[in-house]
Chains A and B, each alone.
Chain A
Amino acid sequence: MNTRITRRPSGEFAIEVRGLTKAYGRMRALRGIDLQVRRGEIFGFLGPNGAGKTTTIRCLLDVIRPDGGKSFVLGVDPQADPVAVQASTGYLPGEMQFYENWTAARQLRFLNDLRGGRAEWGYVLQLADRLALDLHQAIKNLSKGNKQKVGVIQALMHRPELLILDEPTSGLDPLIQQEVHGLLRDANAAGATIFFSSHVMSEVEQVAGRVAIIRAGEIAEVADTSALTRRSLNRLTVCFKQPADLSELAREPGVEIISQKDYTVLLRVTGDMEAVVRALGRLPVLRLESQRPSLEEVFLTYYKK
């Protein structure tokens, strides 16, 4: 008797993944992913390039088939009933590719027709207006950022229950990034669950309530964004006007002096900056520069893999 579970009662989770594995030939892209995204939350999926973010997302939409494990999207197994999952989901691929000779409007009408015309065109125009996108331009004449805007609109236009976005702000300028974040918050306020991948920590911190960190096909950690922020890593370059005694600064918890040359000191600070700033305030500081480390550096620091 076939006892395969294809549907779960729609409960607490919008996405539930258990032991998901996927290999491309000899390369194991996913090594048993476990993940739970609650309904109504904004969930960040953070990892460096090649970590398995896109592979996970494409398995959830049944564009590729996992080798093992189980997943449920809005209570439905995407491998058993992909159309049900895709009908309630808005998807933004990592790399947007369209028919180059079509206008943005025609491309959006085509994708809307594939959904049975569920989107209201007035809402599409409203989204285009917010993102400052001219829908009458041919796709081939659009910049990478503007193509990304078309992608964002097609993902949002039918007001999906779940948004799955693969690096949604890639290629967008900072102002439009803020606008996209605003759109995501609005969709979330209207009840949509948002699952988005990124390799930019600051973006995830800004938008997501919870975050999963993936590295080399394995989930390294799932945490509240606030917990991650408390542990956030910063690099500080401090230039002094004259030689300074750094012993008090070095005693501050979470501060590590990486290098010291002439009057310039490079510090790594983990977590809260308040005590560091207070200690620096007692020193003859000429200039202070703060820098967020790369995601890879964060991994090396916290996950030691």
Chain B
Amino acid sequence: MRSLSTTFRYTLTRLRAQILGWGIGLALYGLMIVPFYRIFGAQQERFQQMIASYPPEFLAFFGADTASMLTPAGFLKMYAFSMLPLIIGIFAVVAGSGLFASDEEHGRLDLILAHPVGRTPFFLGRCLALGVAALLIALLGWLGFCILLHGSSLGISWGQMSLPFLSLLIQLLVYATLALLLSMLLPSRNLAAAFAGALLVVSYFLSSLAFLDARLEAVARILPHSYFQPVLSLQDLHLTWLAGLLGVCLVMTVLAWLRFVRRDVRLSGEGSWQAPLLRRRKPA
């Protein structure tokens, strides 16, 4: 327990620049976008004309339509939340892939794990810190979106605003745990980040394109972004989706843990480890 809390504390401290950078950036975006709805409402006619001039495919790409665009939910979905998982997902991919592999590739993990920490408490401490970092980023972003709500014409409460951020947080956890698992299986941190990052982008585009082409729906259904829910009411929130994504996170974390506690720690400068399925063990 002691080594878990020590690991948690130091990992969270090391993540603080990323938490502040991404969290404050997200909050500033909220502070900018929320008052914008007043201008949007004041010049509704002009915006209606502008939206009507958009190709329907463009609106469909963002999961919006002409009718819903002028509602608070439609406005926030299109202008505030449509790209957020893609942008903040970069943090998740970088932090998840580097959670252990970064120290290992720099040769620091060798010394750390020669201390009496235990691999499991060490793994849990770091994973917990990553989860809390993602939570703090989502919290800072949520605060940024809420501070000016009172004076805005959006007419939604802080509680309602928390729902998209809850979904965003779970998206972050999915990409972070995926990157973590890949960093345990692939030869390098960069490769893990590249694969997880590619899935982040592909997931975003295929899920969006699935609004335009029904043939893509089957593929989109297995991608995480399809389950991102920028909704403002509890009735619209699919709790089963959230639970399902959390389950996926848990499975990926357990697989990463199994790999971490079993494998050799590399030294800096050593060659990549081989993918486990391709490894040929020579009898000693």
Contacts and interface: CB of A to CB of B under 8 A. Distances in A.
B282 A93 contact: no
A22 B284 contact: yes
Interface in B1-39: 2-3, 6-7, 10, 14
Nearest to A100: B106
A208 B184 CA distance: 40
Given A83-B116, A116-B2, A95 B108 contact: no
Interface string A88-111: 010101111111000000000011
A98 B106 CA distance: 8
Interface stretch (A23-31, A39-47, A280-288): A23-31
Interface stretch (A9-17, A57-65, A194-202, A251-259): A57-65
B251 interface: no
Given A26-B282, A63-B265, A95-B107, A110 B114 contact: no
A114 interface: yes
A84 B7 CA distance: 18
Interface residues of B, number: 31
B65 interface: no
Contacts, number: 85
B118 interface: yes
Interface residues of A, number: 37
B110 A86 contact: no
B10 A110 contact: yes
A113 B6 contact: yes
Given A26-B282, A28-B284, A63-B264, A115 B110 contact: no
A113 B4 CA distance: 11
B147 interface: no
Interface of B: 2-3, 6-7, 10, 14, 106-108, 110-119, 262, 264-265, 267-269, 274, 279-282, 284
13 contacts: A25-B282, A26-B282, A63-B113, A64-B265, A68-B284, A83-B117, A87-B116, A93-B110, A98-B108, A113-B6, A114-B7, A116-B3, A116-B116
Interface of A: 21-23, 25-26, 28, 31-32, 54, 58, 61, 63-65, 67-68, 82-84, 86-87, 89, 91, 93-99, 110-111, 113-116, 154
